[in-house]
Each structure stands twice: as C-alpha cells, then as structure tokens.
Amino acid sequence: MSDLVSDHVDAPESVDPTGPRLRLMAVHAHPDDESSKGAATMARYVAEGVEVLVVTCTGGERGDILNPAMDRPEVKADIGKVREQEMARARAILGVQQRWLGFVDSGFPEGDPLPPLPEGCFALEPLERAAEPLVAAVREFRPHVMLTYDENGGYPHPDHIKCHEVSVEAFEAAGDPDRYPGTGEPWQPLKLYYHMTFTKDRIVALDAAMKAAGLESPYADWLKRFDDQPPRWEVTTRVPCADHFETRDQALLAHATQIDPNGFWFAVPLDVQREAWPTEDYHLARSLVDTELPEDDLFAGVREKVSL
C-alpha cells in the first residue's frame, strides 16, 4: 500500500449518519472538474443508492471561456455567476449533492517568468485556513470514501495542487477531536483515492480503438507528451461505469463555458469508449480498512464495516 465559504449545500435530509448507507465525497478545485474526472463513477454509485457529495473549492471566476459559442460580453462580465448556474445543472444531471467552499479561483499562470498569483486566491491561502471548511464538510457529511487529485493536481494548476493538500489534510484531521475545534463532531473517512483519469494506458487503448474503427484519433499530439518514465502512482482501482458515460457527457455539456460540444471531449464515440476502456481509474492513497488490490469498487473493505 502507498503512503498512506459559501454555505450552499443540497442538504441530505434523508441521511441517517449512523445508518448503513454508503457515502462518497469528491473534492474538486473548480466547477466542471467533477464532470471531467470521476463523473461516471459518481453517477454509478448514485444509481446504486450511495450518497454522493461534490465539494467545489472555488467558483472558477478566473477560468477562460473555452467554448466559442459562449464567448460573449455578457458571459465574460459575470463568469462567476454563469459557472455557478452551470454547476447547478451538472449536479442535477449527476444526481449528486454539492457544496461550495467559497474560495477565489487562482487562475492558471502563464508566461516566462510566471506572473505572481493574485492576492487572496485559493492557492495562496494558508493550509489550515483553506482546509477548515473542508474539515467541517467532512464532519457534517461523514463520508466513508474521499476522492481528490494527486500531489501534482492531475496537472499543475495551483488550485488543483491546493485541492490535493486540503483534501489530505481533511482526511487526516477530521477524525481527530483535538484538531479544527468548532467544526463539528469528529469523523474519520476510511479510504482516500486519487483520480487517475488520463493515464498513458488509457490513452493508448483509446487511440488504438479509434484507428481500428477506421476513425481519426484525437490523441496523436497527446501521445507525444508521454515520456518513458513510469507513472508516479499506480492504478489500484478500476471502477466499471461504462453505462454512465452518457450521463458524464451530459454533465460536461452543462458546463457550457468550459466545454465545446464540437471539441476534444466528444471526439471518441461512446461505443468505442465502452469497448476500449469501460472503467474510471484511481489510486488508493490511504486506507484504514483491509482490501485486496487491484479493486473494482471504491467501497471494497468498507461495505463490510458499514453493514456491521
């Protein structure tokens, strides 16, 4: 095993926190991240009766408009509000609950030399201040399993890296009654996973499947970016969720400022994806329960504990 605010929330009134229902929390940096990483997994577990909460650290206020159809002055003028509305549509499609932590998007610094990050942004928040509302969310929702990014953020966006840091901090601190007083009764999640969405194996498989189908692969340039170094984290867990790829795509499309319906995300037909790579993949970073690797269920080892 490896090393181990906005107050808006769609409240889980029906949840008995001492009862047997499983709970999953996915922590993301911006609205739209939840739909591009792990969305089909969440949709699958929602369909199975699992309580799923997406925690969104920032409002995405500094995100670019990536869909030409949405590149309009009125959208740019109130991008934060527009992205909040997009998130509302996406969470309804996925069937998840959602909470905003209320931090300000840091933007993605570009240039040489890189410009400084803007004052007051999420990435510059001290760790304990940034983690405190997430600890409160963990203690309130009481997840058995948490999802987040690896220490590189999946890609090195400063908000994704900060999201990793606060997620690990919350996982390790929420169960300790001496830490973060005033944020609720202690609760210890049992497993923490990192998303492994864009692995070389997956991209190679999809590229080969497109070529075998006589279709133009969108991955030629992408494959050139992979080097011969082994991945930092191994895939330990592959969750079968191909039946929910269409729901994932509908949630992506709800983020209309970020997702071009004619763009890269939809270049591979769903039937090709389902055949070539029918899972979403994860690395088990922390576990307080016994489990056997590889897994095909984020709740492996947890179900037995919850049903006791």
How far apart, in whole angstroms, are the C-alpha atoms of residue 154 and residue 148? 9
| Contact status, residue 251 vs residue 219, Cβ threshold 8 Å | no
Radius of gyration over every alpha carbon of the chain, rounded to an integer in angstroms: 19
- Tens digit of each residue's pLDDT (9 = 90 or more) over 61-117: 999 999 999 999 998 889 999 999 999 999 999 999 999 999 999 999 888 788 899
3-state secondary structure of 29: coil
Architecture of domain 23-197+279-306: 3-Layer(aba) Sandwich (3.40)
Asked whether residue 33 is marked as a ligand-binding residue, the answer is: yes
Answer yes or no: is pLDDT of 238 > 90.
yes
**Residue range 174-184: mean pLDDT, rounded:** 98
Report the C-alpha gap between 92 and 85 in whole angstroms: 11
Partner residues linked to 287 by β-bridges? 191
Residue 298, pLDDT score: 98
Structure tokens at 263: 């763009």
Token look-up 């692969």 returns 217
Question: 208 and 276 in contact (C-beta within 8 Å)?
Answer: yes
Strands (E), 10-63: 23-28, 51-58
**How far is the C-alpha of 135 from the C-alpha of 167, rounded, in Å?**
9
Query: Global pTM?
Result: 0.92
Instruction: Please check if 195 is assigned to a binding site.
Output: no
8 is in an annotated binding site: no
In this prediction, residue 155 has a pLDDT band, given cuts at 50, 70 and 90, of confident
Band of residue 145 on the pLDDT scale cut at 50, 70, 90:
very high
CA angle (229, 218, 94) in 5-degree steps: 90
Task: Identify the bridge partners of residue 133 per DSSP, sorted by sequence position.
Answer: none
